[in-house]
Structure 1
Amino acid sequence: MEKLYSHNIRDILKVELHRHLDCSVRWSTLVELAPQVGIPLASTSQARKEQFLITSPMKDLSSVLNKFLNAQKVLASEEILTRIAFEACEDAYNDGIRLLELRYAPTFIAEGHKNLTFEKIHKSLHKGIEMARKKYHMLIGLICIVQRVKPFAEAEKVVDFAIAHKDSFIALDLADNEEGFDPKVFAPLFQKAKKAGLRITVHSGEAPGPLSAQWVQDSIEILGAERIGHGIQIVHDPKVINFVQSRRIPLEICPISNYLTQSFKTYEDHPIRQLMNAGVLVTINSDDPGVFATTLSDDYEVLHRVHGFTKEDFHRCNQVAFDASFFPDVEKNRFMTDFFG
């Protein structure tokens, strides 16, 4: 196997479909802004990292989601949101990403920030993305997230907001811990969004559990998911593997994230190769690079080092991601030569 070094991996032109904008804040920006919004910083560098970042495995997905709340407090103004959106795109470009789908949850950012309406949040993020589009030759799209842990009435508001702004959202997503939140409840909302022209991706099959694989199938059959965020737990159910493979539903796989949330205990245990060998469509993503202190290239490095991924494997996954992107074909075709020409 050809040895790939960090600069070789960074130079690979990449497509990323699964990156949370609200958890992509640069570490330097986080440290700079926290005191300005009234968050006292810990006294040492290491303690600050422990305050905001997740760099070693946590107990489970729920523990990770709770840790995100520390970084969320920094997202306190329109100016900050514009800045973090621009910087997230800039960091992605510098990591070789040329087609980027960012997602965010209006309810997550608005929590505790009474001055930030959904409208203000969206306009601020969109402004930062437009700044990046003008500076960097890349496709950047936004996906709106419904938090499954919020009351149903909140989910309705978010879906209606996404539909009202379908000119600047390319898709709708359902996220947060699945345990105790059956995806079927949200079916009417996702059917409504799909009818309005939004594409559908759903976080499902991320954390281990007896129903995890079945939830993936439900998300596809009942919510109309065209892609699945994570989906890795289907590896335990051959029937669902066959279902996902036959439906040609791509998985948005995030290797480092899956390790940090302990979806699988070690990098070696990660089933990405097994899923690819079963004919499942696989894409590679970073999930929450700000809070995890990673880049997408770090995920590539893990796959190269642990699972023997070659440049050809990465190109194959990027081709799958390019084809599965929710951008209109007319926009993607303009970029075709950049990636695969």
Structure 2
Amino acid sequence: MHFFRAKRLIEKSAVFRVLQKMPKGAALHVHDFSILRMDWLVRNVTYRPHCHFCVTRHGALKFRFAHPTPPPPAECSEWVLLEKYRQELRNVTAFDEGLLRNFTLETENPEEAYPDRDVLWSRFQAIFFSISGLVSYAPVFRDYVFRGLQEFWQDNVLYLELRAELLPVYELNGTTHGPEWMVETYRDVASLFKREHPGFVGMKIIYSDHRFKNVSLITESVRMAMQLQTRFPGMVAGFDLVGREDTGHSLHYYRKALTLPAAIGYPLPYFFHAGETDWQGTSVDENLLEALVLNSTRIGHGFALTKHPAVWTELWKKDIPVEVCPISNQVLQLVSDLRNHPAAVLMATGFPMVISSDDPAMFGASGLSYDFYEAFMGIGGRKADLRTLKQLALNSIKYSALQDAEKKAAMETWAKSWDAFVTQLARGRSEKAAV
């Protein structure tokens, strides 16, 4: 069953309620602008003063906070102040519900709404385009990161690693902040959250850029990644390339840029998306081999890995895990029935993997519980049990970018939560048996 149809049934499941309480360790594959439920953007952010919107010639929504009203952008005819627009509406609730539908991929009939992958990815990218004007507003950005951490924390996740593009963040007067300001803000917000939530381990950034750019631009991004990691060694974990893999440039295309750190003796860790495809024998499919050659710390998605036994064997020897994102793979049309997910083979053989949620807010999900449910009930099969879940949680800390001392502390924190969880679970079963 497609996740959009299964979601309500999942939420009624006793297994899901157990998974929500379970200490899940870390979320190692999530993207910066999709970590918080979209209804907060609609019901909080779009109601803030000086929020303008317009509709582009292609029908996409564009937002901007400004005072006074800024000149109209190239894509639109004019900006409309949302506060004034809502005052003139007869049914504000219907308008807000329409905004929410524009901010997620959720639909009752996904096969009809997204007849092929091109249509789906076009919609996916349009959502990022729309919400970026909201999230990239400095006061919203700070709140968004804090509330995003809170959403994962409430789902019993103690640590995050965000793929972050570090797009410019703007102020009300139009001034903008660059990557260093953003990393500082991530660091400060994470520190504040950690002080207010004992047991939260923290977060790190994997600086990312799009695989549609030319080599010279990605070379500059690699240089920026090294610069940011040098300045913020405890905050910036490494570098990745993001975007639709099937239509983007291959890792081999960027070889000159990606081998630059090694050429100058700088050990920049990579966390490459690779093998997020169902094609075989293409240059994109071979990203798995390139990721191996470039010593990627982890493999994002790795959906095609089982088609490459030699790469599979080498990754296993080097203990390089795959970041499996079940709901993302299904929604983005790589697999329809999660019982047929290639990760089922990896899990059955004991290959190192972690479970993550990729872009949960885009899919109408949150935290990690929904993806753990799909991994446990679908990918894991009938033999998956509490030991399976425990190993996946342990893996998320083991294969994180935390330093050894940080990992040890995180493991100790998680172990206490796990023991309490198992005790509570056993007590609940005993009470039911007694009744």
Task: Give TM-score, length-normalised by structure 1.
Answer: 0.88
The alignment's C-alpha RMSD in Å is 2.6
| 2:196 pairs with 1:130 | no
* Conservation of the 8 A alpha-carbon contact between 2:138 and 2:169: no
Q: TM-score, normalised by structure 2?
A: 0.70
Q: What residue is the counterpart of 2:226 in the other structure?
A: 163
Deviations 1:156-181 (A, max 9, x none): 33222222221220121121122340
User: How does 1:80-119 map onto structure 2 within 5 Å?
Assistant: 80-107=140-167, 115-119=176-180
Structure 1, gaps ≥5 residues long: none
Structure 2 residue 101 is matched with structure 1 residue 50: yes
Deviation at 1:227, TM superposition (A): 0.6
2:393 and 2:251 mapped to 1: Cα distance? 28
Take 2:191 and 2:259, find their aligned partners in 1: how far apart are those partners? Answer: 30
2:275 pairs, out of 193, 202, 205, with 205
Report the more deviating stretch, 261-270 or 283-292: 261-270
Q: Secondary structure at the match of 2:135?
A: coil
**Pair 1:172-2:239 in alignment:** yes
Match among 360, 375, 380 for residue 303 of structure 1 = 375
Cα separation, 2, equivalents of 1:289 and 1:114: 30
Between 1:280-289 and 1:145-154, the stretch displaced more is: 145-154
Could you say which structure has the larger radius of gyration?
A: 2
> Are the aligned partners of 2:305 and 2:312 in contact in 1 as well (CA < 8 Å)?
yes
State the SS of the aligned residue for 2:398.
helix
Structure 1 280/175 Cα, relative in aligned 2: closer, same or farther at 3 Å? Answer: same
Distance change >3 Å, CA 279–CA 261, structure 1 → 2:
same
Given that 1:149 and 1:181 are in contact with CA atoms closer than 8 Å, whether structure 2 keeps it comes out as: yes
Deviations 1:161-210 (A, max 9, x none): 22222122012112112234010233343344464343211011112222
Aligned to 1:34: 46
1:232 aligns with 2:232: no
- Aligned-partner SS, 1:69: helix
State how 1:1-341 maps to structure 2 within 5 Å: 5-14=15-24, 15-31=26-42, 32-34=44-46, 36=48, 37-39=51-53, 43-56=94-107, 57=110, 58=114, 59-60=116-117, 62-63=121-122, 64-107=124-167, 115-136=176-197, 137-139=199-201, 140-166=203-229, 167=233, 168-178=235-245, 179-193=247-261, 195-210=265-280, 211=282, 212-221=284-293, 223-295=294-366, 296-307=368-379, 308=381, 309-340=384-415
* Distance in structure 2 (CA, Å) of the matches to 1:299 and 1:118: 30
Q: Could you tell me how far apart the structure 1 residues matched to 2:169 and 2:207 are?
A: 12
Q: Give the secondary structure class of the aligned counterpart of 1:318.
A: helix
- Whether contact under 8 Å (1:228, 1:252) holds in the other structure is yes
* Alpha-carbon displacement from aligned partner over 1:285-310 (angstroms, at most 9, x marks no partner): 01112222212101112223324342
Using the alignment, how far apart are the partners of 1:256 and 1:266 within structure 2?
A: 11
Corresponding letter in the other structure for 2:227: A
Total equivalences in the alignment: 336
Distance 1:161 1:20, change over 3 A: same
